Each structure stands twice: as C-alpha cells, then as structure tokens.
Amino acid sequence: MGCFDSVMVPCPKCGKKHEFQSKSGRCCLDEYELADAPSDVMENVNRHAPRECECGCLYKVDEATRTPIEVGVAEKNEKMAQQYRTLAATMLEDLARKVLDGEVTTVQFSWDGGAGLKITTR
C-alpha cells in the first residue's frame, strides 16, 4: 500500500536531482537513476510531473529518450490553472458551509484591482 519506486531525475537547467515517483514497476521502494531505471518503472515516471525545481524550472521526463525536458508555457499555465481551480473549489466549499451553518448571511464578490478577487462576507 502506498508503495512506489523512485527515479532520480536531474533538472535540465541546474542539474539538481529530484525524485520522480512511479507506480508502474515492482514498487519495492527501489531508487533508480534515469539511465538505469527499468522500462516498466519509466512508463509511469511522469505521474506527478511536471515537477518544479528550486531554480524555477518546471520539468518532466521525455520517456522515449529518457531526457529531462523543461515544459512549455502552456503546460506551466495549465498546472497553475489546476492549482487555482483546486484552491477556488476549496474556498467556495468552505463558504457554502458557512452559509449553510448560518455563520454568514451575505456573500459579495468584487474585483479588487491588483489584489484580485475579493470576497466579503457578513
């Protein structure tokens, strides 16, 4: 349960290695380098990709060539959009619960310039 194998993949920009977890291999908590990872482990290596390095580079593994590659702007934006969607959904659920509990009776959404969306409750 909850087991996986790890492949250490260097960042294409700064070279720092990060752990990529895969669940497609034997999942015995084995740790591999990109060059020696078995192909069954490689199948699932991008399970949590793209991965962000401390240097700001967002990357994944090109499975065919076993090469770390920086992802493009579209993929970066998609990942960010997913994070925002999750965050917004969590905030709205929390707000809905407060309304149902009678803790909040008025909800007002407004655009607060640079600060973004502003939610006022009473």
Binding residues for Zn ion (CB under 5 A): 11, 13-14, 16, 53, 55, 57
Phi/psi at 3 (5° precision): -95, 160
CB of 61 vs Zn ion, minimal distance in Å = 14
Beta carbon of residue 10, minimum distance to Zn ion (angstroms, whole number): 8
Q: Could you tell me the smallest distance in angstroms from the CB atom of residue 67 to Zn ion?
A: 15
Indicate the residue among 9 and 37 with the shorter CB distance to Zn ion: 9
Residue 59: CB minimum distance to Zn ion, A: 8
Q: Which one, 55 or 89, has the nearer CB to Zn ion?
A: 55
> Kind of pairing, strands 51-52 and 58-62?
antiparallel
Contacts 24+ apart (CB under 8 A), 118-122: 119/91, 119/95, 121/95
Among residues 3 and 69, whose Cβ is nearest to Zn ion?
69
Residue found by looking up tokens 């990357």 in the block = 59
Question: Which residues are within 8 A (CB) of 8 and not within 5 positions of it... i.e. 6 or more apart?
Answer: 17, 18, 19, 20, 31, 32, 33, 34
Q: Which is nearer to Zn ion, 27 or 34 (CB)?
A: 34
What residue type is 2 in one-letter code?
Answer: G
